[in-house]
Amino acid sequence: MFIQALIAGIAVGSVYALIALGMVLIYKASSVINFSQGALVMIGAYITYAVVTGIPAPLWITIPIAIVLSALLGVVIERLIFRYMTGVDLIAVIMVTLGISFLLEGSTTAIWGTLNYSFPKILPEMSFSLGGIHISEVYIWSFIFSMVILVMFTLFFKYSKIGLRMRAVADNQKASISLGIHPGKMISLSWAISCVVATIGGVMLANIKLLNLGLSGIGILVFPVVILGGLDSIIGAVLGGFIIGILGSLSAVYAGGLMGGAVDQVVSFVILLIILLVKPYGLFGTKETLRL
Amino acid sequence: MAMHRNKTMIGIGIAVICYLLGPFVLSDYMLYLINLAAIATIGAVGLNILTGYTGLIAMANGAFIGVGAYTAAVLYTKLGVPFLLTIPIAGLMTAVVGMIFGIPALRLRGFYLAMSTLAAQILLMFVFNNWTSITSGERGIFLSPPNLFGISLVGDRGFFFLTVGIAALGMLLSHNLFKTDTGRAFIAIRDRDIAANIIGVDIFKYKLTSFAISSFYAGVAGALFGFYMTYVSPEAFGLNVSIDYIAMIIVGGLGNLWGGLLGAVFVVILPEFVDKVIEFVGQFIPMEYTFAAFRQLVFGLLIIIFLVWEPKGLTEILRRLFCWLKAKIFSPRSEVESLE
Amino acid sequence: MSETLLKVENIHLTFGGLKAIDGISLDVCNDELVSLIGPNGAGKTSTINCICKFYDIDSGQIFFNGENITRLKPHQVARHRISRSFQNLDLFKGMTVLENIKLGAHINIRSGILSDLLYYGKTRKEERELEDFIVEKIFSLFGLSKYRNKHVGSLPYGLQKKIDIARALAARPKLLILDEPVAGMNSDETKEITEDIQKIREADISILLIEHDMDLVMNISDRIYVINFGENIADGTPQEVTANSDVINIYLGKSFEN
Amino acid sequence: MIKRISVVVMIVALSIFVFSGMGLAKAKQEIPIGIIGVFTGMDTDVNGMSYGTRDYFEWYNDKFGGIKGYPIKCIMLDGKNSIPDEVKNFKRLVSVEKAVLINGWGTGGTKALKDQVNKVVKIPYLSESLAIEVIDPVNCPYNFVLGPSYEGQIEIGMVWAKMQGAKTYAILHNDIEYGRGTTKNVIKAGLADKLGLEVLGTVEYPWHLTDCTAQLLRIKKMNPDYVYIQDSATNCTTILRDAAKVGFPASKLIADCWNFNPIIPETLGKDAEGFKPIMLFPDYGSDIPLMKEILEYAATHKIEKKDQNYVRGWTEGKLIVESIKRVIEKSNGKLPKTAQFRKMIRDEMEALENFDVGGSVPPVTYADHQGTSSAMIGEVRDGKFVSISDWIDIRKVREELNKK
């Protein structure tokens, strides 16, 4: 029982991790807290669906197209909106991202309507049983993806030239400009990458559930993850994802019986609250300092 | 100066006349919209005190309104407390709850505080859903239409006087607050909390106070909402409501008395407006009902436009519009004044 | 010599292993103008930040009027009537000049939230008295009357400096701490501020001054403390200090050789 | 400049708003009927029932030139399945459009409007939600629904399970009223005991469900003969998938009427085989007289949703039109004043007895404001829904059990 719950938790956790990664990336690059991540996840899934079902071509053609499209979406968002949003107060940024998610959900409804779609099987079949519970390929793939992306990001920010520039921009825009780095480019790039990651998450989620507008709901559920892991920590996002996922499923199994309600989502927010009170900057986050 | 006073007197006079005649000329539907807007105004003005003036982002206004609604509903149905009494009590109750969830403000600022209030929203919703002995869970609580001085407040006419009156009162109080030291302390905390602290402002005390006042407003709004809908159930107090309220004060104007009012009216009227336009166009071009999506689309678009083009919100736009019209109508001189 | 007002005893402060203040002591007596000088990074501003409790000191004691204020919170310190100006302006951008200065008097306000909401009785009275006080005493002193309803953000630097000091004065302090009041000002403005400081002294307010402008310091100080690397180097009257060899070494005889 | 333009745009917009508001004056000698549907947000996948009713009116207008010559004016609004919006639509339909009957939607909205419908406005309100609180001819004389309540459906599930010789039963439900409230009522009613069926337990999961493994593990531990899922298709898909994950057979899963939805077999393939949704109405295209009318209409119009919900909507349309026809006959061909009209429609609706709607449900008797309390059990067989039982009339069953 425990083992099974644990495995289920890891499975869900890796999906959380995927989505949290996108959020963290944007924060690292432009210190924007993205409440529209959920909507990006949703629209990413829809785009992929449209491309895969719409274009009569093998997956190795259609999938890249979908990825490019979602990257473009990210760039567009940055160019059209966040270019003009430098040096505004936090609430404005938060609200703009919320506005974006309204916009995305609205346009999704306008284009695809509000029906449920069943997502095409684009993931190679590979599923096995572990501890008496049959793990479907979706979870395995999302686990793999989250791991791969984790490694890629870590290397990217540590060694690659662009990654270093991004960090410079995040650190201090003015200084980076004086170093001849174009912050705008870096930030759009980070949005592009983040959107791609969101799309991957969306595809995973659409495979777990149906493809519908409800997918964007995940955006809120991911906040406990990023807070636990630390807003600007990539490894934190992944670990946080697993921890929240596991605690959620454990609490659902053990506490669920005792206190009627659906505890698993509440538990993660209780954790969020505790973390904020005990260790506001999460497990791996960097502290912000006050100056006079 | 005297001239100015006269103007204001005239303005107040007109307002009072509209207030007294309004219910008898408008359709129930219009009254319903106005009542919703008035209730929203109360909540928004309150949230503006917390977020707009004190700079504390709260994502739990929806849940706070819920606390007010439930308090009133329980007092009214289970304990038979008179209707008018339940409203302030609901406010106080919510103020207490708000202060409890304001405690993290001792350590947290900005986004992290926003997160703690988000948690508050989720936890309160959980309570609404699961503390069935009090809230009767998703089942919700029915309220029989209340009596006010013997007149049954059923329907929209009676409520118009109540909601609009209380909304006006709420705005007046908020207006007073920011003529005084407490108000200044709030703004100081928003602008530069450290400096404020060294000047002698007890940051934590004033943050809590701000939470209390703001949630008091929310509580009153909630009580009114509950009685007006004659039905209180959790689904009306979800996160989307909290987000709508943030949208209101941003669209209306952060840290501006009129921001709350304009924002509330805007957010309540906008969907109607979009619907009307769609119906209007629909008469000529047949339209799918999925075009209802445009409501959401336009909403999102407007919010973004506001924040990118006019961060000061509707109040600023209207002010500029006013000056502009004045400039157009009168001399080009007043144009110069208006623009500086 | 009158009794001491502020007494700082051997305070230490470290930022993550790095010693910012390593045993500084100083005291300020009633009606005295004491200057605290030293090269950049000597720990001057850190010292006053410790006095205002923006930093918590690791060891040492701070007394004010004989009361131990070492463990108080910043706003509690302020209630002892210690107020200060800020090196890099910390005015409240969202408020007018008048409102900024009014908030300076925060510690003197007694009225509660309820009466504030109703704007009735006590509040109304206090607001009127406060406004009169500011207009008569402070505006006249700094000549700010014509800016009273301007938002501070829009005003020139020199003026903002003045408003900063005015705000500190509005608290009717016993001790006024000025952190580089004339930094980045031209000679005229400097002269004005100097005169203002003189006027403030006439209102029997003790002043602790941090300043790089040696002429100013030498002109108006009763006593001077020289610190470097977070330690006291020397103290005494301007004459004594200028005579002190260590001080000369630090300043390489800069401003007062001639 | 841009700011000024935006300002101008706003003025224009507002003025349009005002004028179009005036434009909404009601045309006379029409029969205004309001439909509150859901076209955005959750539950839009079942809004076929709103389209069905609307299309029936259109079909009827085209074919017979309206009821006794008075065309039906159908106003369809989006309630977004949220209480304030449905109340708002209600106010508009009542005060602006002067509707004589409203075809409402959600559970929350229906409950919130209870007083308005029955005490204040007094307008017949045929709601899609099968919430039991309003199925009460005495206290809610103006509320009507069509079909057995969710409670009834769970019990129909029990009855059928019993027929299959089952001993144990469990209920899996979401944490909102629709799931939790309903389940509570069923347990309270205690039909299971009377049937001699043991309810091993009820398990709850969040309404915004991502993963149901944990809950299903608990179910699996109980090991009941049949499990009833009290939720609609979106969550049910997740549940079925996770059921397969933990190795719990879909053939043991019964679910309410909203899961009679092709999306489920389509999405889950073999994982859905044997899954048993409740069927209140036969599927679109099944061989019943009513279907002929629909096809006749479909020949010339686009059918928004070709599913059982559309059939349901069409059926409701028939009932509404029939009652109105009788009203007009009674008032010898004239349209009564609105208030009177509303009351008469209500009376006529209640008076309907063994009215044949054309095979979509057993003949309707509306004395109980529920029309029919019968349903069939469906099953997924190689990707298609088939009915595997006759109509089970839960009211009859209850009566028999109470006799004993």
Mean per-residue pLDDT, D79-85: 79
pLDDT in tens, C105-159: 999 888 888 888 888 878 888 899 999 998 888 898 888 888 989 999 888 888 8
Domain ranges of chain D: 26-148+284-372, 150-279+375-403
Query: Helices A137-158 and A183-208 sit at what angle, rounded to 10 degrees?
Result: 170
- CATH-assigned architecture of domain D150-279+375-403: 3-Layer(aba) Sandwich (3.40)
Distance of CA D90 to the CA centre of its chain: 18
Is the Cβ of A217 closer than 8 Å to some Cβ of chain B?
A: no
Touching A: C residues 10-49, CB under 8 Å? 49
pLDDT at A102 over 50: yes
pTM of the model: 0.87
> Tokens standing for A141?
């793939």
CA atoms within 13 A on the CB side of A199: 25
Nearest-Cα distance to chain A for B239, in Å, is 10
Tell me the two tokens of residue B116: 């703690």
Residues β-bridged to residue B232: B141
Cβ(D260)–Cβ(D308) below 8 Å: yes
Return the domain boundaries, chain A.
9-121+131-213
Task: List pLDDT tens digits, range A18-64.
Answer: 899 999 989 888 888 999 999 999 999 999 999 999 888 888 899 99
pLDDT of residue D27: 46
Please name the residue that has the structure tokens 């210190």: A31
Whether C90 has its CB under 8 Å from any CB of chain B: the answer is yes
pLDDT at residue B241, as a whole number: 92
Residue A7: what pLDDT? 79
Please give the mean pLDDT across all residues of chain C.
88
pLDDT at A282 over 70: yes
What is the model's pLDDT at position B88?
96
Q: How far apart are CA D389 and CA D371, in angstroms?
A: 20
The answer to whether the beta carbons of residues B187 and B178 sit under 8 Å apart is yes
Interface subset of B 70-129, CB within 8 angstroms of A:
104, 107-108, 110-112, 114-116, 118-120, 122-123, 126, 129
- Does the pLDDT at position B135 exceed 60? yes
- The 10 Å CB-count burial string (b at 16+, else e) for B178-201 is bebbbbbbbbbbbbbbbbbbbbbb
C-beta atoms of D215 and A221 within 8 A = no
Q: pLDDT by residue (tens digit) across A116-137?
A: 788 887 777 666 666 666 666 7
The arithmetic mean of pLDDT across residues D95-99, rounded, is 86
Contact D282, D361 (CB under 8 A): no
- CATH architecture entry for D26-148+284-372: 3-Layer(aba) Sandwich (3.40)
Tell me the β-bridge partners of C4: C29
Pull the structure tokens for residue C113: 């939230």
**pLDDT beyond 50 at B195:** yes
Could you tell me how far CA C77 lies from the centroid of its own chain? 13
Which of the 8 DSSP states describes residue D252? G
CB spacing of B304 vs A96 below 8 angstroms: yes
* Chain A residue numbers touching B271 (CB-CB < 8 A): none
Shortest alpha-carbon distance between residue B318 and chain C (Å): 20
What domains are defined for chain B? 2-309 (1.10.3470)
Query: Where does the pLDDT of residue D16 fall: very low under 50, low under 70, confident under 90, or very high at 90 and above?
Result: low
pLDDT band at D2 (very low <50, low <70, confident <90, very high): low
pLDDT-based confidence at residue D25 (cuts at 50, 70, 90): very low
- Residue C75 near chain B (CB below 8 Å): yes
The pLDDT of residue D24 is 46
What residues in A contact B129, CB-CB < 8 Å? Answer: 261
Closest to B22 in 3D by CA, of B34, B9, B5: B34
Residue B284 has pLDDT above 80, yes or no: no
D101: its two tokens: 């009957």
Shortest CA distance to A214 belongs to which of D383, C33, D209?
D209
Residue B141 has pLDDT above 60, yes or no: yes
Residue A174 has pLDDT above 60, yes or no: yes
Same fold, D26-148+284-372 and D150-279+375-403: yes
Residue D230 near residue D154, CB atoms below 8 Å:
yes
Write down the ipTM of this complex. 0.85
CA distances, B330 to each of B322, B326, B333, B335, D4 (Å): 12, 6, 8, 9, 18
Q: Which residues contact D141 (CB under 8 A, 6 or more apart)?
A: D118, D346, D350
The predicted model gives D159-169 an average pLDDT of: 92
Q: Classify each residue of D317-339 as buried b or exposed e, where b means 16 or more C-beta atoms within 10 Å of its C-beta.
A: bbbbbbbbebbbeeeeeebbeee
- Segment B191-207 mean pLDDT: 92
pLDDT for D313-359, tens place per residue?
A: 999 999 999 999 999 999 988 899 999 999 999 999 999 999 999 88
Contact flag A98-B239 (C-beta cutoff 8 Å): no
The answer to whether the Cβ–Cβ distance between B142 and D114 falls below 8 Å is yes
Residue D4 has pLDDT above 70, yes or no: no
Burial bucket for residue C249 (CB in 10 Å: 0-12, 13-18, 19+): exposed
Instruction: Tell me the mean pLDDT per 10 residues along chain C, length 258.
Output: 84 87 91 90 89 90 92 92 87 92 91 85 88 89 88 88 92 92 87 90 91 88 91 90 84 52
- Predicted confidence at residue A176, as pLDDT, reads 82
Integer Cα distance of B283 and B49 in angstroms: 44
The stretch B115-144 carries a mean pLDDT of 87
Contact B253, D1 (CB under 8 A): no
* A87 inside 8 A of chain C by CB: no
CB contact under 8 A, A256 and D241: no
Q: Is D41 on the interface with B (CB under 8 A)?
A: no
What mean pLDDT value characterizes chain A?
A: 85
Residue B181 has what pLDDT?
A: 93
Round to the nearest angstrom and report the end-to-end CA distance of chain D.
Answer: 82
Note the pLDDT tens digit of each residue in A196-218: 999 999 998 888 777 888 888 88
Q: Which residue of C has its CA nearest to B188?
A: C92
The pLDDT value recorded for residue D240 is 92
pLDDT score for A132 = 63
Cα dihedral A50, A54, A58, A62 sign:
negative
SS3 D248: coil
| Average of per-residue pLDDT across A103-123 | 83
Please answer whether residues D364 and D352 qualify as being in contact, where contact means their C-beta atoms are separated by less than 8 angstroms.
Answer: yes
Q: Which of A114, A252, A256 sits opposite D40 (nearest CB)?
A: A114
Of the candidates C235, B294, B117, the one whose C-alpha atom is nearest the C-alpha of residue A273 is B117
As a whole-number percent, the residues of chain D with pLDDT over 70 amount to 92
Reference D44, options A37, B288, B129, B269; nearest CA is B288
Within chain B, residue ranges assigned H as helices are: 2-25, 28-47, 61-78, 83-102, 110-130, 132-135, 156-177, 181-199, 203-229, 239-252, 257-282, 293-309, 313-329, 332-339
Q: How many helices (H) and strands (E) does chain D have?
A: 15, 13
- Category of D26 on φ-ψ map: left (φ > 0), alpha (ψ -120 to 50) or beta: beta
Residue type for C87, please? Q
Pairwise CA distance, residues C47 & C51, whole Å = 6
Query: Side chain identity at D120, as an amino acid letter?
Result: V
Of C78, C92, C117, the CB nearest to B187: C92
Report DSSP state, residue D355: B
Handedness of CA C128, C131, C135, C136 (dihedral sign): positive
